[in-house]
Amino acid sequence: MLKNVAVALMPGVAPFELGIFCEVFGIDRSAEGLPAFDFAVCAVGDRRTPAGDGHFDVVAPHGVERLDEADLVCVPADRGAAARTYPEPLLAALRRAVDRGARVLSVCSGAFVLGAAGLLDGRRCTTHWMHAETLARRFPRAVVDPGVLYVDEGPVVTAAGTASGIDACLHLLRQEHGAEAAGVVARRMVVPPHRDGGQAQYIRRPLPRASGDAVGGVIAWMAGHLAEEITVEQLAERARMSPRTFARRFLQETGTTPYQWVLRQRVLLAQELLEATDDTVDAIAGRCGFGSAAALRHHFLRTLGTTPNAFRRTFRGPGGTAA
């Protein structure tokens, strides 16, 4: 049972992520029938730790040795985490926590600390989508999934960026103390007890570009004709290649297949139309080349982990009317 929670501070700790742990686990809500956690904030090194961009300091009442008492060790994000080396006393404390059956939880770039401790090796994990490629390069034995809000791999839990730390904390609270406890805390924080979808719906990517000229003109044509049926044979003819040669060159220059490229661009266009227009899902499906609302829903859910209507409710601009 989760009763004892400790947060490990590093210089440059992100105030928001630190605040998440304090809000979920550091407030005594026993009067509402919720568990009261033995909560501690622990410095690694000097007790006075600069926070964020150095606008203020956080003074921790405990040192790194306090981590050895915790059922859950929390590692918030900190500035420069991707390039930093971490003190061995912290890494050793994290390894000891897992070895004795405790859990560790990172938010955003805090995953780099867990990676440095060797706790991501062979495990599925996540971090903020902006750091995902760097995390995968630095820790090649980690299985990095940049499309989810959090990953629970037994003793190791990793959350994506900022607010997804709330999702991960509520998940642990729900897992350890039940859905009612997680629901009460969520209502106090004015957040949903569970969010649909994953990080993918929050990522905005520019149109992928070819690394060479062989298919560049064809890509520009594809981007302007997403509502139409597009075949490899048709594209190959425009590029004056055989279908087999065109498919091979397209993969070499874009890193994906023509089908997957078109599918991703159609989903991106659907996202834009759901945010910016009052069109129905059926109309948007037609404008994006999906043919039917059912096909749009299928590919939207598969790509982004959420439905078109749920996405529209989340991202709809002020004054708009949902379809």
Contact 194, 237 (CB under 8 A): no
Q: Tell me, what's the pLDDT at 252?
A: 79
At 294 the pLDDT is 94
Residue corresponding to tokens 């009067």 = 31
Among residues 294, 300, 295, the alpha carbon closest in space to that of 315 is found at: 300
Cβ burial of 113 (10 Å; 0-12, 13-18, 19+) is: buried
**Banded pLDDT at 206 (limits 50, 70, 90):** very low
Neighbours of 250 (CB within 10 A): 26
CATH pick for 216-315 out of 1.10.10.60, 1.10.10.10, 1.10.1370.30, 3.10.180.10: 1.10.10.60
Pair 278, 320: CB distance under 8 Å? yes
pLDDT tens for 236-248 read: 998 889 999 999 8
One-letter amino acid of 207: L
DSSP per-residue letters across 11-35: TTB-HHHHHHHHHHHSS--GGGTPP
Q: What is the pLDDT of residues 276-317, one digit of tens each?
A: 888 999 999 999 999 899 999 999 988 888 899 988 887 765
**Which of 189 and 84 is assigned the larger pLDDT?**
189
Is the pLDDT confidence value at 134 over 50? yes
Quote the CA–CA distance of 215 and 138 in Å, as a whole number: 33
Q: What was the pLDDT predicted at 249?
A: 87
Condensed to tens digits (0 to 9), the pLDDT of residues 73-126 reads 999 998 776 667 899 999 999 999 999 999 999 999 999 999 999 999 999 999
Tell me the average pLDDT across 6-26.
94
> Exposed, middle or buried, 158 (CB in 10 Å: 0-12/13-18/19+)?
buried
Q: Sorting pLDDT into bands at 50, 70 and 90, what band is 218?
A: confident
Listed in order, strand segments (DSSP E) in the chain are: 4-9, 38-43, 48-51, 56-59, 72-75, 103-107, 124-125, 143-144, 150-153, 156-159
User: 4-201: which CATH topology?
Assistant: Rossmann fold (3.40.50)
**For residues 151 and 125, what is the distance between their CA atoms, to the nearest angstrom?**
6
Residues of each domain in the chain carrying CATH 3.40.50.880: 4-201
